[in-house]
Structure 1
Amino acid sequence: MKNSREIMEILEAYDLTGSYRAAAELAGCDHHTVARYVQMREAGERPVARQHRARPIDEYLAKIEELVTNSRGKIRADIVHRRITAMGFTGGERTTRRAVSDVKAALRAGQRRVYRPWIAEPGLWMQWDWGEGPKIGGRRTSLWCVWLSWSRFRVVIPVFDKTLPTIVACLDATLRRIGGVPTYALTDNEKTVTATHIANIAVRNPDIVEVGRHYGMTIRTCLPADPESKGGSEATVRIAKADLVPTDANLLDQYATFGQLEAACRQFCDDVNDRVHRETRRKPTEMLLEERARLHRLPKEPFTVAFGTTRRVCWDATISVEGVRYSVPHELIDTRVWARFHGDELIVTSVAEAGPAEVARHPRSSPGNPVIADEHYPPRENKENDRRPRANSAEEAAFLALGPGATSWLVEAGAAGARRVKPKMAEAVALAKLHSAADVDRALGSAAIAGRFAENDLIRILTYQAGLESIEPTRASEEHSLQPGTSAWSKFGLADEKDEN
């Protein structure tokens, strides 16, 4: 079988001579070969296209496909050759390897992960990740790498450790270098950010939750063991390590002091941010000037005074103020709003592009009595939530089997960064053996609505609800009265009658 270069040489020789035999002498092949390729070209066929010839292994392809599919593409070619040889195949192992390779390629093509293009919005997403930095005096360093998704603005800061105080310091320095606070920050599931995962629900570290509240930013984490969900920061780490960490490829000198590494990181950021980006065809520094209009201002105090206290809108389009749930428009889910009391009314304000605007107004309520407005939610659909907790152990399954109240409690406890979640789940399962599962589930639902996740909160709520049901109302009737009876008057006057007789 001729390759494409040889076929083109044959056709070129024929066009030059106009004779099959003369072209065959020039190309060094048989004149029948020249005739075949010329006739294919005149018939409109592709001469360079390879024609499939029947092979002895073709009758075993169905078995090979079965073996590769059942093993999810992990079976070795020598194992496949041994299986089909026992079935009567007499060919060589090289032929089997080629056939297995083709089948595996077809399987990968059918299972390839498809990515939907992500169009970044200005001021919405920021991603950070860690990279292994160079050693200074035998001490390891780490590179804090940040990527602003829309403007492609990068920040790299070297540190000696990755503890929570260092993370807060790097986050503060990054936000001040950017000049604002984005809405979301995406990172890995490290212990400083995510304490644990329960039923695929990330339980946030309470300390990082407080940091997010301070800056008015929601901290999100990617899927576990899925770095492709934050590819922007992964690329930033790769580029920073290639330019800052001494290797045989870049021939950089070792850093004598930590100050030299800081200066190198600063120079690296100036270079990449002042260079035209390949995709946007603009400099990140120029785009950052536009994106700053969409960023939140850096807070000078823990809470915003003008519009009240900041609150994060939960997945059920509610905010919690003084232990009471108030609804807000569902378009504001996973955003930050401000809430304040004005007399007996709660006013909820949102800051959008056009400025601050009132989005909800509710009468003041008490804990245990949530205020929900129907106009804040879209019409209901008969569709299950895809992000409901899924049990990964027998203990989690026993807890989630209590009912929807247990599910709501787990989701809310994870979002609030509650402590000792697993022991409290085990306590709820144990209480279900003393009380009915419905009573425990209702108590868990009340705790989720009120935001009560402390120790013994579930027992108190359960005892309170059980006490309300055990009290029977007292109603007055003729059979029982506190008024004195008239039996004493029944003999009135009988003594006088006896005296007269």
Structure 2
Amino acid sequence: MKDAAETMKILSAYDLTKSLRGAAELAGCSHHTVARLVRARDAGQTPGSGASRPKVTDVWLPKIEEWVEASTGRIRADVVHAKLTAMGYTGSERSTRRAVAEVKAAWRAGKRRVHRPWITEPGAWLQYDFGDGPAIDGAKTVLFVAWLAWSRYRIVIALRDRTAPSVFAALDRCFRLIGGAPTYVLTDNEKTVTVSHVAGVPVRNQATVAFARHYGVEVLTCQPADPAAKGGVENAVKLAKADLVPKDTNLRDQYASFAELEAACAGFMAMVNSREHRVTRRRPDHMLAEETSALHRIPATAHTVAYGVGRKVPENTPMVSFENAQYSVPAHLLGAEVFVRHHGTGPDSMVVIMHAGAQGPVEVARHRVARPGSPAIDDAHFPGHETDKVPGDYTPVPRSAAEAEFL
């Protein structure tokens, strides 16, 4: 096959001589080649293009198209080749792969999803999703990521699990951070939100329905396997994981405590919300100040039904009773009300204690299940009592100069 330069040279020689043999002598080729190129040009075809030859896969294309359509473009070429071989196909696997690739490309072109820009309004939509957080002391954590669709304001809250009480606490805190609640909350079909589907219609978890009624919001879910429906928060999760989870790409050190992770989340929020967004060309925190007026007020008290059993912390000791055992809480909660619940089953079962303060409900303590008479104590909850007091062991305290001299 002649390249483009040779083809132009041959055709120009023919235009000059108007003779097939004369052009062949000038161009240094066969007069048959000159005739073929001239016929192609006169027929309106591209001179020099190769002729289409029949392929061994041509007679099998209807069957390949049928399998690609039935599998929604997921069937592999090696599977197609095995099926065709069993039906009498004699071509090579390379030919099969080429044919399957062409059929899949045509199928995707006909099924391509067209994305229309989403025109949002202030105070209407909040999306949330989760990402895998870093491991702290061998325990996995979760990153709760929320995104206001109009202002692009991002919220990242570190959680210890994805149970309904933890998610509800994160949402309550989220509403208080942005100064109100939106009209709609969009998320995935997790069991904390959707328990099943009937004829494609989601059946809501009643705990989520009670939570939504308390705050006056409507919780909606995406279609299964349709992450593009909430692409804004999906990108926010990727960004948060890339910055907060220690990796070789960000050179972030491992977290020594959960409080350190919470501080990192707060720093990340301050960073991303104070810089210009590439779409709006405005800072999300400035846009949030405008969007807050469109959010509706939330109750002063948090929705605590799912947080567990209410307990009053005594005025003189930061210990609460739960199922005949005692558990410690931070000392600053003396006299406050906390909520206690079980989390998990078996040997990994934990007792989680939450407190609903002015900034929303937060987890304040987590203990292994204790037995009656053997309280679960965290030394950090007892400032000034870093060591256990031993009965009969006294620290000498001189009361006079003579006693001081004696000591």
**TM-score scaled by length of structure 1:** 0.49
Q: How does 1:50-65 map to 2 (within 5 A)?
A: 52-65=52-65
Q: How does 1:5-154 map to 2 (within 5 A)?
A: 7=4, 52-70=52-70, 72-78=72-78, 80-81=80-81, 90-154=90-154
- Per the alignment, in what secondary structure is the counterpart of residue 128 of structure 1? strand
What is the Cα deviation at residue 265 of structure 1?
1.1
Name the stretch that deviates more: 228-237 or 38-47: 38-47
- What's the counterpart of residue 300 of structure 1? 300
**TM-score scaled by length of structure 2:** 0.59
What is the Cα deviation at residue 136 of structure 1?
1.3
- Per the alignment, in what secondary structure is the counterpart of residue 146 of structure 1? strand
Counterparts of 2:212 and 2:140 in 1: how far apart (Å)?
A: 28
Q: How does 1:99-498 map to 2 (within 5 A)?
A: 99-300=99-300
- Per the alignment, in what secondary structure is the counterpart of residue 250 of structure 2? coil
- Per the alignment, in what secondary structure is the counterpart of residue 57 of structure 2? helix
- Per the alignment, in what secondary structure is the counterpart of residue 298 of structure 1? coil
Counterparts of 1:141 and 1:57 in 2: how far apart (Å)?
A: 52
Q: Contact 2:187–2:220 at 8 Å: present in 1 too?
A: yes
The amino acid across from 1:105 in the alignment is A
Counterparts of 1:73 and 1:125 in 2: how far apart (Å)?
A: 33
Counterparts of 2:188 and 2:296 in 1: how far apart (Å)?
A: 23
Cα deviation, 1:57-93, whole Å, max 9, x if unaligned, reads 3344334334544555455545544665677755433
| Compared CA separation, residues 302 and 172, structure 1 to 2 (3 A) | closer
What is the Cα deviation at residue 201 of structure 1?
4.0
Counterparts of 1:143 and 1:169 in 2: how far apart (Å)?
A: 13
Cα deviation, 1:413-452, whole Å, max 9, x if unaligned, reads xxxxxxxxxxxxxxxxxxxxxxxxxxxxxxxxxxxxxxxx
Counterparts of 2:234 and 2:110 in 1: how far apart (Å)?
A: 26
| Compared CA separation, residues 164 and 98, structure 1 to 2 (3 A) | closer
- Per the alignment, in what secondary structure is the counterpart of residue 134 of structure 1? coil
What is the Cα deviation at residue 155 of structure 1?
0.5
The amino acid across from 1:249 in the alignment is T
Name the stretch that deviates more: 214-223 or 77-86: 77-86
What is the Cα deviation at residue 146 of structure 1?
0.3
Counterparts of 2:283 and 2:47 in 1: how far apart (Å)?
A: 48
Counterparts of 1:235 and 1:48 in 2: how far apart (Å)?
A: 48
What is the Cα deviation at residue 124 of structure 1?
0.4
Cα deviation, 1:1-25, whole Å, max 9, x if unaligned, reads 68xxx75x768999xxxx999x999
Counterparts of 1:34 and 1:268 in 2: how far apart (Å)?
A: 70
Counterparts of 2:302 and 2:259 in 1: how far apart (Å)?
A: 32
| Compared CA separation, residues 266 and 58, structure 1 to 2 (3 A) | same
Cα deviation, 1:210-242, whole Å, max 9, x if unaligned, reads 332232222222234433332222221111111
Q: Contact 1:123–1:292 at 8 Å: present in 2 too?
A: yes
The amino acid across from 2:137 in the alignment is G
The amino acid across from 1:189 in the alignment is N
The amino acid across from 1:222 in the alignment is C
- Per the alignment, in what secondary structure is the counterpart of residue 129 of structure 2? strand
Cα deviation, 1:130-182, whole Å, max 9, x if unaligned, reads 11100112121111100101111100011212333332332222122212221
What is the Cα deviation at residue 122 of structure 1?
1.6
Larger Rg: 1
| Compared CA separation, residues 39 and 285, structure 1 to 2 (3 A) | farther
Counterparts of 2:302 and 2:258 in 1: how far apart (Å)?
A: 32
Q: Contact 1:24–1:31 at 8 Å: present in 2 too?
A: no
Counterparts of 1:94 and 1:260 in 2: how far apart (Å)?
A: 55
Counterparts of 1:102 and 1:220 in 2: how far apart (Å)?
A: 39
- Per the alignment, in what secondary structure is the counterpart of residue 289 of structure 2? helix
Q: Contact 1:24–1:34 at 8 Å: present in 2 too?
A: no
What is the Cα deviation at residue 199 of structure 1?
4.8
The amino acid across from 1:280 in the alignment is T
What is the Cα deviation at residue 246 of structure 1?
0.9
- Per the alignment, in what secondary structure is the counterpart of residue 145 of structure 2? strand
Cα deviation, 1:176-223, whole Å, max 9, x if unaligned, reads 221222111112233333344445443333333333223222222223
Counterparts of 1:38 and 1:268 in 2: how far apart (Å)?
A: 68
Counterparts of 2:33 and 2:281 in 1: how far apart (Å)?
A: 52
| Compared CA separation, residues 147 and 96, structure 1 to 2 (3 A) | same
- Per the alignment, in what secondary structure is the counterpart of residue 168 of structure 1? helix
Q: What is the count of residue pairs matched by the alignment? A: 296
Cα deviation, 1:277-329, whole Å, max 9, x if unaligned, reads 222232222222222232213333699xxxxxxxxxxxxxxxxxxxxxxxxxx
Name the stretch that deviates more: 30-39 or 180-189: 30-39
The amino acid across from 1:107 in the alignment is W
| Compared CA separation, residues 259 and 30, structure 1 to 2 (3 A) | farther
What is the Cα deviation at residue 263 of structure 1?
1.9
Counterparts of 1:30 and 1:276 in 2: how far apart (Å)?
A: 67
| Compared CA separation, residues 102 and 210, structure 1 to 2 (3 A) | same
Q: Contact 1:185–1:220 at 8 Å: present in 2 too?
A: yes
**Which structure has more helix as a fraction of its residues?**
1
Q: Which structure 1 residue ranges, 5 or more long, are not aligned?
A: 304-501
What is the Cα deviation at residue 257 of structure 1?
1.9
- Per the alignment, in what secondary structure is the counterpart of residue 101 of structure 1? helix
What is the Cα deviation at residue 98 of structure 1?
0.9
- Per the alignment, in what secondary structure is the counterpart of residue 253 of structure 1? coil
Counterparts of 2:66 and 2:41 in 1: how far apart (Å)?
A: 39
| Compared CA separation, residues 264 and 39, structure 1 to 2 (3 A) | farther
The amino acid across from 2:172 in the alignment is D
The amino acid across from 2:269 in the alignment is C
Name the stretch that deviates more: 42-51 or 118-127: 42-51
Q: Which structure 2 residue ranges, 5 or more long, are not aligned?
A: 11-15, 17-22, 304-407
Q: Note the aligned Cα RMSD (angstroms).
A: 4.1
Counterparts of 1:10 and 1:240 in 2: how far apart (Å)?
A: 57
Q: Contact 1:133–1:143 at 8 Å: present in 2 too?
A: yes
Q: Contact 1:11–1:38 at 8 Å: present in 2 too?
A: no
